[in-house]
Amino acid sequence: MVLGLAVALGLNGCFTERRNEGAQLYASHCANCHGEQGQGLKRLIPPVAASDYVAQHRADLPCLIRKGMRGVVVVNGVEYNQVMPGHDDLTDSQIANLLNFVQQNWGNKNQAYTIHEASELLGHCNGSDGQ
Protein backbone atom coordinates (compact mmCIF):
# COMPACT_ATOMS: atom_id res chain seq x y z
CA MET A 1 0.00 0.00 0.00
CA VAL A 2 2.79 2.38 0.93
CA LEU A 3 4.56 1.36 -2.20
CA GLY A 4 1.42 1.83 -4.28
CA LEU A 5 0.99 5.31 -2.88
CA ALA A 6 4.60 6.16 -3.43
CA VAL A 7 4.33 4.99 -7.02
CA ALA A 8 1.08 6.88 -7.51
CA LEU A 9 2.55 10.05 -6.05
CA GLY A 10 5.73 9.71 -8.02
CA LEU A 11 3.70 9.69 -11.22
CA ASN A 12 1.82 12.84 -10.37
CA GLY A 13 3.60 15.06 -12.83
CA CYS A 14 2.78 13.15 -15.97
CA PHE A 15 -0.66 13.42 -17.50
CA THR A 16 -0.82 10.06 -19.27
CA GLU A 17 0.34 8.31 -16.13
CA ARG A 18 -2.19 10.18 -14.10
CA ARG A 19 -4.86 7.98 -15.58
CA ASN A 20 -2.90 5.21 -14.02
CA GLU A 21 -3.08 6.96 -10.67
CA GLY A 22 -6.77 6.09 -10.48
CA ALA A 23 -5.98 2.39 -10.85
CA GLN A 24 -3.19 2.61 -8.27
CA LEU A 25 -5.40 4.41 -5.79
CA TYR A 26 -8.16 1.90 -6.33
CA ALA A 27 -5.74 -0.95 -5.63
CA SER A 28 -4.43 0.63 -2.45
CA HIS A 29 -7.64 2.13 -1.02
CA CYS A 30 -10.60 0.17 -2.32
CA ALA A 31 -9.62 -3.29 -3.60
CA ASN A 32 -9.47 -4.94 -0.17
CA CYS A 33 -13.19 -4.39 0.13
CA HIS A 34 -14.62 -4.06 -3.34
CA GLY A 35 -12.31 -6.65 -4.89
CA GLU A 36 -9.49 -6.40 -7.40
CA GLN A 37 -11.96 -6.33 -10.28
CA GLY A 38 -14.60 -4.27 -8.48
CA GLN A 39 -16.71 -7.38 -8.07
CA GLY A 40 -17.65 -6.82 -4.40
CA LEU A 41 -18.06 -9.64 -1.87
CA LYS A 42 -21.25 -11.66 -1.81
CA ARG A 43 -24.00 -9.65 -0.10
CA LEU A 44 -21.53 -7.94 2.25
CA ILE A 45 -19.83 -5.45 -0.06
CA PRO A 46 -21.52 -4.09 -3.18
CA PRO A 47 -19.75 -4.22 -6.54
CA VAL A 48 -18.48 -1.04 -8.13
CA ALA A 49 -18.15 -2.93 -11.43
CA ALA A 50 -21.17 -2.41 -13.70
CA SER A 51 -22.93 -0.78 -10.76
CA ASP A 52 -26.25 0.94 -11.37
CA TYR A 53 -25.60 2.93 -8.21
CA VAL A 54 -22.40 4.36 -9.66
CA ALA A 55 -24.26 5.31 -12.85
CA GLN A 56 -27.16 6.95 -11.01
CA HIS A 57 -25.33 8.81 -8.25
CA ARG A 58 -22.58 10.52 -10.17
CA ALA A 59 -22.82 13.81 -8.27
CA ASP A 60 -22.82 12.08 -4.86
CA LEU A 61 -19.81 9.87 -5.37
CA PRO A 62 -17.02 12.30 -4.39
CA CYS A 63 -18.69 12.88 -1.00
CA LEU A 64 -19.40 9.14 -0.67
CA ILE A 65 -15.66 8.48 -0.95
CA ARG A 66 -14.77 11.35 1.40
CA LYS A 67 -17.36 10.62 4.11
CA GLY A 68 -17.99 6.92 3.67
CA MET A 69 -21.40 5.32 3.70
CA ARG A 70 -23.63 3.30 5.99
CA GLY A 71 -27.16 1.96 6.05
CA VAL A 72 -29.22 0.02 3.56
CA VAL A 73 -28.30 0.49 -0.09
CA VAL A 74 -29.51 -1.45 -3.12
CA VAL A 75 -26.98 -2.07 -5.88
CA ASN A 76 -28.01 -3.98 -9.01
CA GLY A 77 -31.09 -5.23 -7.19
CA VAL A 78 -29.21 -6.61 -4.17
CA GLU A 79 -29.57 -5.08 -0.73
CA TYR A 80 -26.42 -4.28 1.26
CA ASN A 81 -26.10 -2.88 4.75
CA GLN A 82 -22.54 -2.48 6.04
CA VAL A 83 -20.20 0.37 6.79
CA MET A 84 -17.82 1.95 4.33
CA PRO A 85 -15.25 4.18 6.06
CA GLY A 86 -14.53 7.70 4.84
CA HIS A 87 -11.28 8.72 3.18
CA ASP A 88 -9.64 11.83 4.59
CA ASP A 89 -6.31 10.66 3.23
CA LEU A 90 -7.13 11.48 -0.41
CA THR A 91 -6.89 14.90 -2.03
CA ASP A 92 -9.70 16.23 -4.22
CA SER A 93 -7.69 15.48 -7.35
CA GLN A 94 -6.96 11.95 -6.17
CA ILE A 95 -10.66 11.39 -5.61
CA ALA A 96 -11.32 12.67 -9.12
CA ASN A 97 -8.73 10.36 -10.64
CA LEU A 98 -9.94 7.42 -8.61
CA LEU A 99 -13.56 7.95 -9.58
CA ASN A 100 -12.65 8.47 -13.22
CA PHE A 101 -10.97 5.09 -13.15
CA VAL A 102 -14.07 3.49 -11.63
CA GLN A 103 -16.42 5.39 -13.92
CA GLN A 104 -14.73 4.06 -17.04
CA ASN A 105 -13.82 0.50 -16.21
CA TRP A 106 -15.45 -2.84 -15.54
CA GLY A 107 -18.59 -2.11 -17.48
CA ASN A 108 -19.11 1.44 -16.20
CA LYS A 109 -19.29 4.09 -18.90
CA ASN A 110 -20.03 7.30 -17.10
CA GLN A 111 -18.91 10.87 -17.57
CA ALA A 112 -15.54 11.75 -16.07
CA TYR A 113 -14.97 14.50 -13.49
CA THR A 114 -12.64 17.41 -13.80
CA ILE A 115 -10.69 18.17 -10.65
CA HIS A 116 -12.49 21.47 -10.40
CA GLU A 117 -15.85 19.70 -10.52
CA ALA A 118 -14.79 17.14 -7.94
CA SER A 119 -13.77 19.94 -5.55
CA GLU A 120 -17.11 21.63 -6.11
CA LEU A 121 -19.07 18.44 -5.45
CA LEU A 122 -16.95 17.79 -2.37
CA GLY A 123 -17.95 21.23 -1.13
CA HIS A 124 -21.49 19.88 -0.66
CA CYS A 125 -20.31 17.84 2.32
CA ASN A 126 -17.58 20.26 3.42
CA GLY A 127 -15.20 17.62 2.11
CA SER A 128 -13.04 19.65 -0.26
CA ASP A 129 -9.40 20.17 0.64
CA GLY A 130 -8.88 22.39 -2.40
CA GLN A 131 -6.06 20.17 -3.70
Partner 1 sequence: MNIPFLRSVGHLLLCMVVIASAGLTLPGCTQKPTQETHLPYLGEPELVASTAGAAPDTVPYTVPSFTLTNQDRQTITNQTFAGKVYVTDFFFATCPSICPKMQSELLRVYEQFKGNPNVLFLSHTIDPAHDSIPVLRDYAERLGIKDASRWHFATAPHDTIFALARAYMTAAQVDKGVVGGYAHSGTFALIDSHRRIRGLYDGMEKTEVDRLIKELPELLKEEANARATAAK
N- to C-terminal Cα separation, the chain: 21
Pick 5 or 69: Cβ nearer ligand HEC? 69
Q: Is residue 8 involved in binding ligand HEC (CB under 6 A)?
A: no
Residue 53 near residue 118, CB atoms below 8 Å: no
Q: Is residue 27 involved in binding partner 1 (CB under 8 A)?
A: no
Pick 47 or 127: Cβ nearer ligand HEC? 47
Considering only 13-21, 76-84, 108-116, 121-129, which stretch makes contact with ligand HEC by CB under 6 A? Answer: 76-84
**Cα separation of 131 and 115, whole Å?**
9
* 21: Cβ contacts below 8 Å, ≥ 6 apart: 8, 11, 12, 94, 97, 98
Site string for partner 1, 36-75 (x = CB under 8 A): -----xxxxx------------------------------
Q: Is residue 105 involved in binding partner 1 (CB under 8 A)?
A: no
